[in-house]
Amino acid sequence: MNKLRSGLKIIKRKYFPLVKSLQTALLLITGIAGYMSARCPVHNITTVLGLAGSLLLSISGSTVLNMWYDRDIDSIMPRTSKRPLCTGETQPKEALIFGLIISVIGVGWALFLDPLYGVIIFAGLFFDVVVYTIWLKRRTAWSIIWGGISGGMPVLAGRVLGTGQIDWVGITLALGVLFWIPTHILTFSIRYHDDYKKAKVPTFPSTYSFQTTRLIIAVSSVLATLAFGAASYGVGLTWGFLRLLVVLSAGLFILAVQSLRSPSERITFGLFKYASLYMLSTMLLMFFAGL
Amino acid sequence: MKKISVLDRILLLITGLLAAYQISFGLNGINSLSTWSYTVGFGVLLVAGLLLIIMGFEGLNNQSVVIVSALIPLSLSLGLISEHASQFTWVYSIFAIAGLIAIGITRYTSTGKFAALILSLVHGISGLIIVFLPILLSIQGLKPTGYSFVGIGGALIGTGGLLLAFLKVGRPLLSERSILTVLPMLLLLMTAAFVYGFSFS
C-alpha cells in the first residue's frame, strides 16, 4: 500500500506536470463534443469511455513529447522555467519514454476503436509533435497554423467516431478550432513577448508588430465564430442555443476589436481568457445538442 | 478600486448561467423583435458578467460601460413594448436608438449636467416601462401574477444601471466601493427576477 502511495506521489510530482492539464482538458472536451454533435446514443458508454481514454492519452502524450523537445527553450523563459524537465525533477529520458508510451497506447486504442478515427488522432499527434514542435516552431511564426490544424483534430476525430465518416460539419468544427487558435496563442505571445524573444522563438509580435498581431487576432476571431456558427447550424442546434452562440461570439468579436482599438495588458489577458471560455461554451453547446 | 472576491465571481457566474438559460430556453413563442431584443438584454448581462469575472471590477473603467448599462434596459423595454404594446413599437424603437446614440455622443463629448440629463431620461423611461408594464398586465389579468416579477427585475436594473451610470459620468449617488459591493448581488437578483417573471409569459 505504501509502495503504491509513493508511486502515485512520484507520478504526481514528476509526470503530471508534463501534461498541460488545461490544454489537454480543453482538447479532450472538443473531442467529446465532436462525438456528441453526431447525436450518438449516449448510452453507448463503452465508446464514450474509449474515446475519452484514447484522446486523453494521445493528447497528453503529445504535450509530454512537446515539453521534452522544448526543454531547452523552456529553461530560458521565466514562465516555463519551473517545469520539471527544466528543474531536473524529471530526466529527459524518463519524459521521452513516458510520452512515447502513452502516445502509442492512445493511438493504438484509437485505431482499435475505429481505423479512420485512429488515423486522425495519429495525424493530430504527428502535426503537433513533428511538424509544429520539431520542424517549424523555431523557424517561423506561421508554425501556429500547424499547431492549429493539430488542435482541430480531436473535434474532427470525435465527429468521425460518431458519424463514421468525414463530413463538412466535422471539417468546419476543426476549422473553427484552427481559427480560434490564433486568438488563444497570439494573445499569449503578446503577453509573454519578452519570454519568447529571450528564447529566440519567432512569434507574430516579434516578426511583424503588435498591431498586426492584434489585427490577425480580430480577423481570426471573426472566422472562428463564423465557422462555429456554420457547424452549429449543420449539427442542428436549436434556435435558443444558436442565439446563445451568437451572443458569446459577439462578446469575442467585441473584445478582439477593443484590443485592436485600445490595446492594453488587461484587454489582451481578458481576450485570452474569454477565448478559452468561448471555446468551452461552444463545445458544451455541441455536447448538449447531442443529448 | 475594490478587488473582486470569490463570492462576487460566484454570484456573477450564476447571473451569467441564468441569462444563458433565458436566452436558450426562455424566449419561445414571441415575435422576432421581442426575441432579439430580450436576447440583446440578457446577452449583454451574460457577456458583461463573464468579463467582470475575468477582468475584475477594473473592467468597469472602460468608457463603453455607460452605453452597455443603458443597452440592457433599452433592449428589454423594447422587447416588452413589441410584445405587449405593438402599436408603439416604431415610436419606441426610434426612442431607443436615438437614446443610445445620444448617450454615446454625450459620453464622449460632454460630461456633467447634460450627460446626466440624457442618462436620466433614457434610463428613466425605459426603467418605468420595465417596472410598470408587467405589473399593469398582471393587475389587468392579461398575465399571471408571477409576471410582475419582471417589473421587480426592472426596478433592480433601474437602480443598478443608474448607480453605475452616474458613477461613470462623475456624479456618483453612492461611493464607488458601496456600488461595487452590492453590484454582483444586485445583478443576480435582477436576472433571477427576470427569468422567474418571464417564465409566466
Res A290 pLDDT > 80: no
Yes or no, beta carbons of B27 and A243 under 8 Å apart: yes
Residues 6+ apart with CB under 8 A from B23: A240, A243, A244, A247, B38, B39, B42, B43, B46
- Grid look-up 478550432 returns A177
Res A64 pLDDT > 70: yes
Residue A124 lies in a domain: yes
In chain B, the residue whose alpha carbon lies closest to the alpha carbon of A277 is B50
Residue A263 lies in a domain: yes
Residue A51 lies in a domain: yes
Question: Which of B20, B54, B59 minimises the CB distance to A244?
Answer: B20
The secondary structure of chain A in percent helix, strand, coil, rounded to multiples of 5, reads 85, 0, 15
Q: What is the mean pLDDT of residues A35-60?
A: 88
**Pairwise pLDDT comparison (A262 vs A233), residue with the higher score:** A233
3-class secondary structure, A202: coil
Residue A90 lies in a domain: yes
- The predicted pLDDT at position A278 comes to 92
The pLDDT confidence band at residue A260, using thresholds 50, 70 and 90, is: confident
- pLDDT, tens digit, for every residue of A102-137? 999 999 999 999 999 999 999 999 999 999 999 999
- The predicted pLDDT at position B166 comes to 75
User: Which residue in A270, A135, A140 sits closest to A204, CA to CA?
Assistant: A140
- pLDDT, tens digit, for every residue of A145-168? 999 999 999 999 999 999 999 999
Long-range CB pairs of A120-124, under 8 A, 24+ apart, other chains included: A120/A153, A120/A156, A120/A157, A120/A160, A121/A54, A121/A55, A121/A58, A121/A153, A121/A154, A121/A157, A123/A150, A123/A153, A124/A58, A124/A59, A124/A62, A124/A150, A124/A151, A124/A153, A124/A154, A124/A157
Residues of chain B with confidence (pLDDT) below 50: none
Q: Closest approach of chain B CAs to the CA of A291, in angstroms?
A: 15
Mean pLDDT of chain A: 91
- The predicted pLDDT at position B160 comes to 80
Q: What is the mean pLDDT of residues A264-273?
A: 83
Residue A1 lies in a domain: no
Q: What gap in Å lies between CA A63 and CA A93, rounded to an integer?
A: 15
Question: Which of B42, B46, B55 minimises the CB distance to A270?
Answer: B55
- The predicted pLDDT at position A41 comes to 66
Yes or no, beta carbons of A270 and B58 under 8 Å apart: no
CB atoms within 10 A of CB A9: 10
Yes or no, beta carbons of A244 and B58 under 8 Å apart: no
Q: Does residue A210 belong to the interface with chain B, where contact is any CB pair within 8 Å?
A: no
Q: Does residue A73 belong to the interface with chain B, where contact is any CB pair within 8 Å?
A: no
What whole-number percentage of chain A has pLDDT above 70?
A: 99
Res A57 pLDDT > 90: yes
Domain residues for the domain of A151 are: 13-289
Q: Closest approach of chain A CAs to the CA of B81, in angstroms?
A: 21
Res A18 pLDDT > 80: yes
Q: How many domains does chain A have?
A: 1
- The predicted pLDDT at position A28 comes to 95
- Residue A182: give its domain's CATH number: 1.10.357.140
